[in-house]
A = this chain, B = another copy of it.
Amino acid sequence: MNSSSSPNRGRPARLNQERTLQTALDLLNESGLDALTMRRLADALGVQAGALYRYFATKHDLLTAMAERMLDGVADAAGPTTDSDWSEKAADLIRALRTALLAHRDGARVFAGTHPTGPNTLGFSERLIGVLREAGFSDSEAARALYTVANFTVGHTLEEQAAHYPGDEEPTDAGALHEAVAAGAYPHLAATLPVLAGTDFTTNFEFGLRLLLDGLRALQH
């Protein structure tokens, strides 16, 4: 029947946004952000680099789509039926954001370098602001709290992922820290060195998260 007048005549496209996006995320996990070049991505897709620009106008657009995809599901983290209080729901959302960023190599760097405005990112903001507004916080308090926890989470995960893949294997700057502290200046750093040089990032994150939630609690009288 309409085999010749249909749209999309010619050969079926070997490329599309979805396959490009998925392959880019795979390549990110395998090789990291620095190795994610348009040429290498094209290679992995069996295509020339120029062909990618039919689906993403710039590399930055591709990175934005990757960041948005990374947040898939985070908005569903605050259990809707669990009758926990607002701070538990907020904590669940924020932990889900960190987990989503950690799920991809250099996830925080990708996210920090873009400003996704898709349903996953907006959905996360919507849910967290909703939890806070329903807890009695004002519009501006809720909005500013969102920014604060998001900035903390991205900043923290940036550090965490930078410490994990230092290009080589050893913690590059732990040595420099030990050296400087051993010289005698910095008595307070010396006393807290075990924690400063430690790698228990989850405990560090939970500490910061608790600070923020306690701070919010102090706000409601």
**A57 touches B (CB below 8 Å):** no
Q: A155-B152, A162-B115, A219-B214 are in contact. Are A189 and B144 (CB under 8 A)?
A: no
Bound together, the chains give a CA A103 to CA B195 distance in angstroms of: 30
* A192 and B148 form a contact (CB under 8 A): no
Seen from chain A, the residues whose Cβ lies within 8 Å of a Cβ on chain B are: 112, 115, 117, 119, 122-123, 125-126, 129-130, 133, 139-148, 150-156, 158-159, 162, 172-173, 176-177, 180, 185-189, 191-192, 194-196, 203-204, 207-208, 210-219
Chain B: CB-nearest residue to A150? B155
* A192 and B156 form a contact (CB under 8 A): no
Q: Do most interface residues of chain A lie in helix, strand or loop, or is the interface mixed?
A: helix
* B144 and A195 form a contact (CB under 8 A): yes
* B214 and A115 form a contact (CB under 8 A): no
9 A-B contact pairs sorted by A residue (CB < 8 Å): A112-B155, A115-B172, A122-B189, A125-B189, A130-B187, A148-B152, A148-B156, A148-B208, A154-B155
User: Which residue of B123, B188, B217 is within 8 Å of A126 (Cβ)?
Assistant: B188
* B180 and A122 form a contact (CB under 8 A): yes
Chain B: CB-nearest residue to A156? B151
Q: How many copies does the complex hold?
A: 2
Bound together, the chains give a CA A142 to CA B207 distance in angstroms of: 11
* A144 and B207 form a contact (CB under 8 A): yes
Bound together, the chains give a CA A152 to CA B204 distance in angstroms of: 13
Across the A-B interface, the 9 shortest Cβ-Cβ residue pairs: A155-B155, A211-B215, A151-B155, A148-B208, A143-B195, A117-B176, A215-B215, A214-B215, A143-B192
Chain B: CB-nearest residue to A60? B167
Bound together, the chains give a CA A1 to CA B156 distance in angstroms of: 58
Neighbouring B residues of A180 by C-beta, 8 Å: 117, 122
Chain B: CB-nearest residue to A134? B188
